[in-house]
Structure 1
Amino acid sequence: MKIDTEVRHTSKPGLGLFQDLGFSREEAERLHAALQRQINDTLRLKEQLMQELSSWIEEQELKQANAAKILMTSRSNISDIVHKRGAKFTIDALVGMLSLAGKSVRVVVE
């Protein structure tokens, strides 16, 4: 049995997805704005967590390979963290690495 992976439809960036799903322009704009806020919040949080890891690596004067061993990840992942390339990391993964570094993470909801 072959898995079908053919792309049959793509939505234009922006409101396209929500309008393709049948939402009115007004509702699509509202949903799009809410989604953008959520994405931006997530990116800011990941950046902050990566900065904490980078600071810890610098404070401990660790080479990336040594940091990778302590944080149970690859050296290339450490490089991505140091250079703030966070697309491949989940918030959970970054929090887990901070825990391995002996750091605690506290979440404050406002």
Structure 2
Amino acid sequence: MKSNTTHTTPAGGNVFADLGFSPEEAAKLKAHSDMVIQTKLKLAKSVSDWITEQDLKQEQAAAIFNTSRPRVSDLVNGKIGKFTIDALLSMLAATGQTAELNIRR
């Protein structure tokens, strides 16, 4: 079955606006999405860097994080969409690191 693409949102564009949300709602949704992505990226990088610094094999890291080796592979390969912030925070805690939440107005 072949599908036809009728519209592509450019990089940096707002897919929520393209989906028909009001400009205000689209901006809020995009800001939230961007915040979640950046948070996941920072957490995943910290955990992945720790694995590298400790010179661990993925199997060893999986045992520390109480997860599977393929899950660690997803982490080190940057597949952050497969992880919740909570899961990443749990992995970070297992490394002995902590996270700090900053709220800006």
Q: Same fold (TM over 0.5)?
A: yes
Deviating beyond 2 angstroms after TM superposition, the runs of 4 or more aligned structure 1 residues are 12-16
What does residue range 44-63 of structure 1 map to in structure 2 within 5 Å?
44-63=38-57
Offset of residue 15 of structure 1? 3.4
Structure ID, larger Rg: 1
1:15 paired to 2:24: no
Amino acid at match of 1:95: L
Q: What are the ranges of 5 or more consecutive residues in structure 2 without an aligned counterpart? A: 1-6, 8-14
Identity of aligned residues (%): 38
Amino acid at match of 1:81: L
Q: 1:98 maps to what in 2?
A: 92
Q: 2:64 maps to what in 1?
A: 70
CA RMSD of aligned residues (A): 1.4
Q: Distance in 1 between matches of 2:87 and 2:103?
A: 20
Q: Distance in 2 between matches of 1:81 and 1:109?
A: 26
Q: What are the ranges of 5 or more consecutive residues in structure 1 without an aligned counterpart? A: 1-11, 19-27
Amino acid at match of 1:108: N
Aligned residues between the structures: 89
Q: Could you tell me whether the CA contact under 8 Å between 1:15 and 1:29 is conserved in 2? A: no
1:85 paired to 2:79: yes
